[in-house]
Amino acid sequence: MKQSMTFIPTLREVPSDAEVKSHQLMLRAGFTRQNASGVYSYLPLANIVLKKIEQIVREEMNTAGASELLMPALQQAELWQESGRWYSYGPELMRVKDRHNREFALGATHEEVITSLVRDEIKSYKRLPLSLYQIQTKFRDEKRPRFGVLRGREFIMKDAYSFHATKESLDEAYNKMFTAYQNIFSRCGLDFRAVIADSGAIGGTDTHEFIVLSEIGEDTIAYSDTSQFAANIEMAPVNAVYEKKTDELKPLEKTETPDQRTIEEISSFLNVTKEACIKSVLFKVDDRFVLVLVRGDHEVNDIKLKNLYDATNVDLATADETKEALNCVPGFVGPINVSENVEVVADHAIASVVNGVCGANEEQFHFQGVNIDRDTKVSQYADLRFIQEGDVSPDGEGTIKFAKGIEVGHVFKLGTKYSEAMNATFLDENGRTQPMIMGCYGIGVSRTLAAIIEQHHDENGIVWPNSIAPFQIHLIPVNMKNDSQKDLSEKLYAEFIEQGYEVLLDDRPERVGVKFADADLIGLPVRVTIGKKAEEGIVEVKVRKTGESFEVALSELQGLLKQLLGN
Which residues of the shown chain bind a second copy in the complex (CB under 8 A)? 1, 5-7, 9, 33, 35-36, 39-44, 46-48, 50-51, 65, 67-76, 91-92, 94-96, 98-99, 102, 104, 106, 113, 116-118, 120-122, 126, 130-132, 134, 136-137, 139, 141, 143, 153-154, 509
> Contact at 8 Å (CB) between 191 and 213?
yes
Q: What is the bridge-based pairing of β-strands 503-505 and 526-530?
A: unpaired
In this structure, are residues 472 and 526 in contact, taking their beta carbons and an 8 Å threshold? yes
User: Looking at the chain, how many residues does it have?
Assistant: 567
Distance CA 456, CA 21 (A): 10
- Distance in Å, CB of 387 to a second copy, minimum: 37
In the complex, the smallest distance separating the C-beta of residue 567 from a second copy, rounded to whole angstroms, is 20
Nearer to a second copy, 6 or 423 (CB): 6
Q: How far is the CB of 96 from a second copy (least distance, A)?
A: 4
Q: What stretch of H or E contains 495?
A: helix 483-498
Cβ proximity to a second copy, 131 vs 361, nearer residue:
131
Residue 104 or residue 289: which is nearer to a second copy going by CB?
A: 104
96/249 with CB nearer a second copy: 96
Dihedral in degrees, nearest 10, Cα atoms 296, 298, 301, 306: -50
Q: How far is the CB of 15 from a second copy (least distance, A)?
A: 13
Quick one: 76 or 368, whose CB is closer to a second copy?
76
β-pairing verdict for 473-477 and 526-530: parallel
- Evaluate whether 440 touches 111 at the Cβ level (below 8 Å): yes
- The answer to whether 66 and 133 are in contact (CB under 8 A) is yes
49 or 230: whose CB is closer to a second copy?
49
CB of 50 to a second copy, least distance (A): 7
Sign for the CA dihedral angle at 544, 550, 554, 555 comes to negative
Least CB distance from residue 523 to a second copy, whole Å? 18
Given the complex with a second copy, which of 110 and 348 has the nearer CB atom? 110
Neighbour order of strands in the sheet with 278-285: 314-316, 278-285, 288-295, 342-347, 380-382
- Of 166, 178, 238, 239, whose CA–CA distance to 206 is shortest? 178
Helical packing angle, 445-455 and 44-63, nearest 10°: 110
CB closer to a second copy, 128 vs 565: 128
Instruction: Kindly list the distances between the CA atom of residue 274 and the CA atoms of 263, 280, 358, in Å, as whole numbers in the listed order.
Output: 7, 13, 11
Give least dist CB 70 to a second copy, A: 4
In sequence order, which residues have a C-beta less than 8 Å from that of residue 115 and are 6 or more positions away? 83, 161, 418, 419, 422, 424, 438
Minimum Å gap between C-beta 441 and a second copy is: 16
CB of 99 to a second copy, least distance (A): 4
CB of 142 to a second copy, least distance (A): 9
Choice between 509 and 566, CB closer to a second copy: 509
**What span, in angstroms and rounded, lies between the C-alpha atoms of 76 and 94?**
12
- State the distance between the two ends of the chain, measured CA to CA, in whole angstroms: 19
CB of 90 to a second copy, least distance (A): 9
Three-class SS of residue 36? Answer: strand
In the complex, least distance from residue 20 CB atom to a second copy, rounded to whole angstroms:
20
Of 7 and 550, CB closest to a second copy? 7
CA distance 291 to 280: 6
What are the φ and ψ backbone dihedral angles of 548, each rounded to 5 degrees?
-55, 140
Helices (H), 259-416: 263-270, 302-309, 319-326, 372-375
Cβ(563)–Cβ(525) under 8 Å?
A: no
Nearer to a second copy, 6 or 433 (CB): 6
Phi and psi dihedrals of 35, rounded to 5? -100, -35
Q: Which is nearer to a second copy, 104 or 185 (CB)?
A: 104
